[in-house]
Amino acid sequence: MINLFNRIRATIYDPAFYASARMKDLSQPIKLTAVVAVIGALLGAAVMYAFIVPLAFLPVFDKAEAAYPDDLIIKLQNGDVTINQEEPYYIENNLFDEGPEHLVIFDGGDTLEGTASQNDALVLVKRTHLIASSDDDERMIDFKKFGTTTVTITKEDVRGFLAGVEPYYKPVLLIGGFFAVLVGALFAGFFWVIFHLIYLVIIPAPAVWIYARFRTPQLSFKEAYITVVYASIPVAILTFIIGLLGFNWPPFVYSLVVVLIALINIARQPESTSHEEVPTSSEN
């Protein structure tokens, strides 16, 4: 771990490290990038999981049961929905702190115009279909797809359903959420490494290689690429940190910082690290 930290520290500013590293195998900076990506993925997964854990301890089922009115009976029969209350019938939103004023509006008589969101509701139930709203879309579900099915829903039915689901809610959320976040983060880290290495070939590496054409010793494109892969590591770490804080910077700034770190480190390399000697003229 100490050696890993020292190598990461050297990628920030250590001309001797860069002079030696660019002469070695390309696999070494790629491996270091992959290790940093795995660490970042695990940290990112931990942050996401920290948001999931509190959800397992919220009184979700109590609030869901309380949201369903005691005297409401819903009946679905032959593709039509009816209720035992005068319509339009409003169920207030006591389930979510943020959201529309109404959870559900039953409007079997088509008294209301517009969609669910236009009526400040999460779901607008008509006689033959319902309209569910989301952040940027509305979805309609036709009750005819249920055929001749007859279903009656009462408060007791809701209470029984919630009682059956509740024992599984916390384990599924905590254990399933853990593995889902972990696998998702590792896959994201894997694809980031691939994209990152390709991106460095396109912009930062050519910039450093062109600069190196006008200095001694000159760098091959492979050496320039190794240099920018190492130089990108502290920039990637900084980008990850500011991303957790809710900020980001444009891609061109990312490339600019990578190139600057690379140039600063190769511009100050000691002459003893040169891999080719400049020929000197001799008199006969």
Q: Other CB atoms closer than 10 Å to residue 165's CB: what's the count?
A: 13
Contacts of 88 (CB under 8 A, 6+ apart): 105, 106, 107, 109, 111, 112
Nearest to 78 by CA among 127, 21, 112: 127
110, 131 contact by CB (below 8 A): no
Which segments in the chain show pLDDT lower than 50?
271-284
- My answer on whether 194 and 238 are in the same domain is yes
Domain's final residue, options 122, 153, 184:
153
The pair of structure tokens assigned to 101 is 């004023």
- My answer on whether 267 and 179 are in the same domain is yes
Per the domain annotation, does 269 fall within a domain? yes
Q: What is the pLDDT of residue 90?
A: 95
d(C-alpha 123, C-alpha 103), whole Å: 6
- My answer on whether 45 and 178 are in the same domain is yes
Summarize pLDDT for 60-93 with one digit per residue, the tens: 899 889 999 999 999 999 889 999 999 999 999 9
Per the domain annotation, does 113 fall within a domain? yes
Per the domain annotation, does 281 fall within a domain? no
Per the domain annotation, does 205 fall within a domain? yes
- My answer on whether 126 and 183 are in the same domain is no
- My answer on whether 145 and 196 are in the same domain is no
Q: Other CB atoms closer than 10 Å to residue 119's CB: what's the count?
A: 19
Per the domain annotation, does 23 fall within a domain? yes
Range of the domain at 178: 2-52+173-273
**What total of structural domains would you count in the chain?**
2
Contacts of 123 (CB under 8 A, 6+ apart): 103, 104, 105, 116, 130, 131, 132, 133
Summarize pLDDT for 19-61 with one digit per residue, the tens: 999 899 999 999 999 999 999 999 999 999 999 999 899 888 9
Nearest to 269 by CA among 6, 18, 8, 7: 18
- My answer on whether 106 and 193 are in the same domain is no
Nearest to 262 by CA among 283, 231, 235: 231
Per the domain annotation, does 139 fall within a domain? yes
- My answer on whether 45 and 82 are in the same domain is no
User: 274 to each of 107, 169, 267, 269, how far by Cα in Å?
Assistant: 81, 63, 12, 8
Per the domain annotation, does 27 fall within a domain? yes
Supply the pTM of this predicted model: 0.72
- My answer on whether 221 and 249 are in the same domain is yes
Per the domain annotation, does 12 fall within a domain? yes
